[in-house]
Amino acid sequence: MTPPTYGFDTLQIHAGAQPDPATGARQTPIYQTTAYVFRDADHAAALFNLQEVGYIYSRLTNPTVAVLQERIATLEGGVGAVCCSSGHAAQIMALFPLMQPGDNVVVSTRLYGGSITQFGQTIKRFGWSASFVDFDDVEAIEAAADENTKAIFCESISNPGGYLTDIPAVAKVADRLGVPLIVDNTLASPYLCKPIEMGATLVVHSMTKYLTGNGTVTGGVVVDSGNFNWSASDKFPSLSQPEPAYHGLKFHETFGNLAFTFHGIAIGLRDLGMTLNPQAAHYTLMGIETLSLRMQRHVENAETVAAWLEADPRVDYVTYAGLPSSPYAARKATIYPKGAGALFTFAVKGGYEACVKLVDSVEIFSHVANLGDTRSLIIHSASTTHRQLTPEQQDAAGAGANVVRLSIGIEDPADLIRDLDQALAAATA
């Protein structure tokens, strides 16, 4: 019999989980343990040789984390996933099997400020480099690539402006270049966007944001589509060539479409140690159970608040792609039909000083360096998350000095509008 195809709302609760075999516990337990007892010496040897799947040490694998990995992979339409300690860790984990010293990655200019710093500065310490391109110019992406380009990286919905990436168009460029497309799907979540269905090879998330949804833990994940042929060329020797640490094992030859996932655990987590702890995995699993419900409310509230701001004379412009006036409205309708997320910016008349007064005057909105919470959040990116960038980089990222970023929560939208109204009055008095 063909197994049933379950809907998103069912999978976000059940995927990867069964009642605990030892106790019958319905909720996935927190397996708060460092190590696991082997059946015998042969069992231990088989695990360490990657001849058998199981649990060795919680830096590598943990039963609570394993359920989370399977759930996210299922929701994203991937074959496997590797959870790690943060979204930034996930980005390094995604690149680690692909890159060698001297290699480069083509990335979008419209990224979270910390990601711009990570790609523009930090990865140089690995001998890697990045070329920044406006991904609305698809031809420029291909022009920026060379024989040492090993990946293309973008955000599905960009932080902070909420701009929408044309993932199918970018995926075609990646296919022509013979390199994987990595999409950060944090702001959309798999409920609003499925990058793998549009041609992405890998999907990363900061699980800290919408997947967990309650501002309690940090975590990241890399989802493997299983669709890339790592042996089609000699570009990816870590996956296609013999691995010295495992007696010459070839990951792609041995594990097929799960090669990237196994490499991420057996090499990435083993050597980089960017491990997600089981308690954080537990909180994220509980958050995912209500993901679709929260995302619907996030989007509804964002549309209401953005429309009100756009009509306010104290505001120069609003970047929300869910507005009919947005230049991304057509792209939203075809690629992101369930909504354009709940993160966007707006420009305050009065510039930098007015923005600072605004964030100091809100009452319901929380002034924090986070997003994707059930609570509505606000920040002035130019003085915080994007502070390390030049003014030109800030403008390119959509984080200019006159811009405030909002992450719209699931409160009563009328209360959010009243709060912004009084804060704008104080800021522009």
Tell me the whole-structure pTM to 2 decimals.
Answer: 0.94
User: Do 340 and 328 contact (CB within 8 A), yes or no?
Assistant: yes
Burial class from Cβ neighbours inside 10 Å (0-12, 13-18, 19+) for residue 88 reads buried
Domain boundary residue among 287, 321, 345?
287
Tens of pLDDT, residues 66-82: 999 999 999 999 999 99
User: Within this chain, do residues 282 and 343 fall inside the same structural domain, yes or no?
Assistant: no
Query: To 10 degrees, the CA torsion angle through 135, 136, 138, 140?
Result: -70
Q: Is the peptide bond before 160 cis (omega within 30 degrees of 0)?
A: yes
**Interval 375-403: pLDDT, tens:** 999 999 888 777 777 788 877 777 788 89
Tokens of 365: 């909105």
128: its two tokens:
């890697």
Residue 120 is assigned to a structural domain of this protein: yes
For position 364, which CATH number holds?
A: 3.90.1150.10
Which pLDDT does position 230 carry in this prediction?
98
Q: Are residues 238 and 332 in the same domain?
A: no
Q: What is the rounded distance in angstroms from the CA atom of residue 233 to the CA atom of residue 98?
A: 12
Using the predicted structure, report yes or no on whether residue 410 has a pLDDT greater than 90. yes
Alpha-carbon distance 203 to 180, whole Å?
Answer: 10
> How many residues are recorded in the chain?
429
Q: Looking at the domain assignment, is residue 418 inside a domain? A: yes
7-64 tens-digit pLDDT: 999 999 999 999 988 899 999 999 999 999 999 999 999 999 999 999 999 999 999 9
Residue-level pLDDT at 2: 53
Domain that holds residue 401: 291-427
Q: Assess whether 262 and 382 both reside in one domain.
A: no
Residue percentage of the chain with pLDDT more than 70 = 99
224-247, pLDDT tens digit by residue? Answer: 999 999 999 999 999 999 999 999
Q: What would the pLDDT profile of 319-378 be if each residue is shown by its tens digit?
A: 999 999 999 999 999 999 999 999 999 999 988 899 999 999 999 999 999 999 999 999
- Domain identity same for 158 and 211: yes
* Domain end call among 287, 319, 337: 287
Are 301 and 235 members of one domain? no
Same domain, 261 and 314: no
Q: What is the pLDDT of residue 3?
A: 59
- Identify whether residues 263 and 206 lie together within a single domain: yes
The answer to whether position 75 is within a domain reads yes
Residues 221 and 298 in one domain: no
**Domain total in the chain:** 2
pLDDT band at 1 (very low <50, low <70, confident <90, very high): very low
User: Are 119 and 263 part of one and the same domain?
Assistant: yes
Confirm whether 312 is domain-assigned. yes
Express each pLDDT in 31-42 by its tens digit.
Answer: 999 999 999 999
* In the block, residue with structure tokens 């920040």: 379
Helix, coil or strand: residue 101: coil
**Residue 369, domain member (yes or no):** yes
| 3 within domain boundaries | no
CA torsion sign, 258 to 218 to 268 to 188? Answer: positive
Average pLDDT for the chain: 95
Q: Which residues pair with 222 in a beta bridge?
A: 82, 204
Q: At what angle do helices 113-120 and 87-95 cross, to 10 degrees?
A: 30
Using CA atoms, how far apart are residues 78 and 18, in angstroms rounded to an integer?
Answer: 20
Q: Do 142 and 23 belong together in one domain? A: yes
Per-residue model confidence as pLDDT tens digits over 247-285: 999 999 999 999 999 999 999 999 999 999 999 999 999
Asked if 107 and 114 touch (Cβ cutoff 8 Å), the reply is no
* Residue 57 DSSP label: B
For 325-384, the DSSP string reads TSTTHHHHHHH-TT---SEEEEEETTHHHHHHHHHHH-SSSEE-S--S-SS-EEE-GGGT
Give the end of a domain, one of 287, 319, 342: 287
pLDDT for position 174: 98
Contact 135, 154 (CB under 8 A): yes
Residue type (1 letter), 107 = V
- Can you tell me the mean pLDDT for 103-127? 95
Interval 135-153 mean pLDDT = 97
Q: Which residues on neighbouring strands pair with residue 125, listed in sequence order? A: none
Find residue 404's DSSP bridge partners.
346
In a domain, 150, yes or no: yes
Please determine, for residue 141, whether its predicted confidence score (pLDDT) is greater than 70.
Answer: yes
Q: Is there a single domain that holds both residue 97 and residue 191? A: yes
Q: Please indicate, yes or no, whether residues 13 and 141 belong to a single structural domain of this protein.
A: yes
Six-digit token string for 199: 């041609």
Task: Check which CATH number belongs to the domain holding 255 and give it.
Answer: 3.40.640.10
In a domain, 159, yes or no: yes
Q: In the sheet that 129-133 helps form, which strands lie side by side, from edge to edge?
A: 80-84, 220-224, 202-206, 181-184, 149-155, 104-108, 129-133
